[in-house]
Amino acid sequence: MKVDQQPIFSEKSIAVLPFVNMSAEPENEYFSDGITEEIINALAKIQGLKVTARTSAFAFKNKNIDIRIIGKQLGVATILEGSIRAYRNRVRVTAQLIRTTDGFHLWSEVFDRVMEDLFELQDEISLLIADQIRENFGHINIQEHLIQAPTSNISAYDLYLKGRYHHLKWNSEGIRTGIKYYEKSIAQDPQFALPYFGIGYSYAMSASFGVRPEALKAAGDYLKKGFTLDDQSYMGYFGQGTYHFWGQWDFVKGHDCFKKAIELNPSYTEAEEGLAELYTAVGDFENAEYHAENALRINPLSPNHFFTKANIHYLTQDFEGALIYLDSALQIDPLFIHAIGLKQLCYIQLKEYKKLDHFLKTHPLTECPKECRALYQLVHPDEKIDIDLKEIRTLIGKKNGVTIFPWSLYLLVYMKQHELALDLLETAVKNRAGQYINFMNIPLLAPLRAYDQFKTLIQTTFQPALLPKDEPGESVSDGSGKNLLNDDEISSLRQQLQHSMEQDTLYLNTDLSLRDLASHLQTSANKLSWLLNEQIGKNFNEYINSLRLEAFKKKALDPTNEHFTLLGLAFESGFNSKTVFNSFFKKTEGTTPRSWLKAQKKQP
């Protein structure tokens, strides 16, 4: 990243890298991608756990990059990676959880299941991963289940995953193909909510930048049907927020839906970005900045989020700052058309024709290059560039397909055709065209601001009653600080724990887990984890390994054990890994086991 936007490191954190498709058919990649996203979304439900969003995790797809580098770029303590092989009615999943500081494998497992058990498998993997993070890095409350089956029809789910795979390509062809698969999924199971939300969102976005009435009506119908089947879907609320904000310019309803989506899935930064875009449109740049920053904290490799940040800088006339964020977006995705078009506008504002000209000549996806050059000449008439301004009238309204920015409006403004420009703007605002949603603060529209017609558009579109009222709060809350036990319960559980360790020596069990110990103590894993971290001051592994270390020391100093190797004594003390034993010993004692033993024997 070019921007100094280094993510804040968190101990209780994870990035789930795209699972590798090991199936014989390469086209099954949609399936491995879909399962990866489901696990990301499941882990995101856990309060207090930082989960890297899909976009940033998928930035490392098919790239052989050191885990430690990925961890640093994403600000996470653990990485989950693995592979998926689907064959006929069976699926095999391999998964390993890796510590990013040193590349140590904390956990690995291979799962072989029939396809009908797919949702149970996703839930099992997600819970096992969450347990490992809690045992190694600190307390988090983990729900009984993280994934509920959204449909009993595996064929419908498979078609949905295909639709989402194409949908997430974020281009016209991908959206059209995605809608077709969503429709097939609905045909297989009309009671499956997710494909309705997928179609609803697709039509809502299409409506905001293209054909409106038919697409907008379809979006509303599909979203309404989806909510009759599932009224607690973050994807549903995100689609509904998009429908209200981008489709209808309803800032209050859009705001409330985006907030609800974030509440249901704090790692779903598309909804956070939606809030940032909404606050940007209404000119509340402080709130916009807050949500853009938060989205980048969770999703630090999203070109969309960098564009959103750049747009805030552009609309507040910090064009150089905008270029920094645009370059970061284009570094991640060189073909990102939103960033390309906004970079052209920044060069115009900064009076950088050489850079603009070079960019227009070298980048294949620049928007309306003729219009762009003509606009530059009109904005900066003192510069003489090789442009025939007589052609300019033929450029206005020319069919260039759907563009991200309203070039014809800009040209009319700087041709001093202000009445025509205002009429065009008024029509676009009335039609709720997405390209114009930031019109209140677009720098190139400054010459229109003195006109009553422009002022009226501002007053009617952004009157206080139509704007959201609240201030931003933390989008991701950490629920780990809540007391799960009262004083009497704390005292009783500590006594039970001490007895189990001293009398039953449960720590000698090399496979002991937090859930196993909680079951032995007849309490919940959440309560035991909270007690260890908040009252004793150690996570589960630190607590158990400290007891194992003391047991090892006693055995190592016992003359009757001199014929045993130190590693053998470590295993007898409950350690199940040479690396874990040596690392924990050095971290605790500041030296190696052998050096420690020699020093102890020299003492009188």
Cβ pair 464, 472 in contact under 8 A? no
Question: Which pair of tokens denotes residue 248?
Answer: 């209808």
Q: Are 188 and 153 in contact (CB under 8 A)?
A: yes
Q: Which helix (H) or strand (E) holds 12?
A: strand 10-16
Are 147 and 123 in contact, with CB atoms under 8 Å apart? Answer: yes
Domain 492-602 fold is Arc Repressor Mutant, subunit A (1.10.10)
Q: What is the pLDDT of residue 604?
A: 62
CA distance 533 to 543: 9
Q: Residue 308: which of 345, 346, 270 has the closest Cα?
A: 270
Spell out a b/e string for 95-120, using b for 16 or more CB atoms within 10 Å of the CB, else e: bebbbbeeeeebbeeebeeebeebbe
User: Would you report the helix, strand and coil content of the chain in percent, each value rounded to 5?
Assistant: 65, 5, 30
pLDDT category of residue 145 using cuts at 50, 70 and 90: very high
Q: How far apart are CA 509 and CA 573, in angstroms?
A: 9
Confidence at residue 2, expressed as pLDDT on a 0 to 100 scale: 47
Distance of CA 424 to the CA centre of its chain: 37
Q: Where are the domains of the chain?
A: 10-137, 154-466, 492-602
* Span 547-576, average pLDDT: 94
Measure the CA–CA gap between 294 and 278, rounded to whole angstroms: 15
Asked whether the CA dihedral 66, 72, 77, 81 is positive or negative, the reply is: negative
DSSP, res 570: H
Report the C-alpha gap between 224 and 230 in whole angstroms.
10
The whole-number pLDDT of residue 398 equals 65
**DSSP string computed for 479-528:** GGGS--S-HHHHHHHHHHHHHHHHTS-GGG-TT--HHHHHHHTTS-HHHH
Alpha carbons 75 and 62: distance in angstroms, whole number: 20
pLDDT of residue 157: 96
- What are 180-238's pLDDT values in tens digits? 999 999 999 999 999 999 999 999 888 777 656 788 999 999 999 999 999 999 999 99
The residue among 254, 306, 311 whose CA lies nearest residue 467 is 254
Is pLDDT above 90 for 538? yes
Q: What is the model's pLDDT at position 480?
A: 45
Query: Would you say 229 and 186 are in contact if contact means Cβ atoms under 8 Å apart?
Result: no
- Cα–Cα distance for residue pair 32/599, rounded to 1 Å: 53
Looking at residue 455, its pLDDT comes to 97
pLDDT of residue 484: 84
**How confident is the model over 404-421, as a mean pLDDT?**
95
Comparing 266 with 427, the larger pLDDT belongs to 427
Average pLDDT, the chain: 92
* pLDDT of 281: 97
Per the CB < 8 A criterion, the answer to whether 307 and 287 are in contact is no
36 contacts 16 by C-beta, under 8 angstroms: yes
Given this structure, which CATH class describes domain 154-466? mainly alpha
What is the reported pLDDT for 384?
82
How far is it, in rounded angstroms, from Cα 314 to Cα 509? 60
With b for 16 or more beta-carbon neighbours within 10 A and e for fewer, the 435-447 pattern comes to bbbbbbbbebbee
Q: Decide which of 213 and 352 is more confident.
A: 352
For residue 76, list its beta bridge partners.
10
Which tens digit of pLDDT belongs to each residue from 71-126?
A: 999 999 999 999 999 988 899 999 999 999 999 999 999 999 999 999 999 999 99
pLDDT tens sequence across 1-55: 445 456 778 889 999 999 999 988 888 899 999 999 999 999 999 989 999 999 9
Token duo for residue 117: 């058990």
Q: Where are the beta strands (DSSP E) in 65-114?
A: 76-87, 90-99, 105-114
Residue 304: its pLDDT value, please? 95
Instruction: Report how far residue 277's alpha carbon sits from residue 45's, in angstroms, rounded to the nearest whole number.
Output: 24
> Token digits for 189?
């199971």
CA distance 39 to 291: 24
pLDDT surpassing 90 at residue 388: no
- The pLDDT value recorded for residue 396 is 78
Q: What is the pLDDT of residue 476?
A: 40
Cα end-to-end span (Å), the chain = 58
Tens digit of pLDDT for each residue in 470-500?
Answer: 665 444 444 445 688 999 999 999 999 999 9
Q: Which CATH superfamily is domain 10-137 in?
A: ABC-type transport auxiliary lipoprotein component (3.40.50.10610)
**How many residues in the chain?**
604
Between CA 5 and CA 8, with CA 7 as vertex, the angle to 5 degrees is: 125
d(CA 548, CA 575): 7
**For the CA atoms of the chain, what is the radius of gyration?**
29
> Across residues 129-138, what is the average pLDDT?
94
Tally of CA atoms within 13 A in the half-sphere of 354 that contains its CB: 0
The pLDDT value recorded for residue 49 is 93
How far from the centroid of its chain's Cα atoms is residue 216's Cα?
A: 27
- Both structure tokens of 562: 């001199």
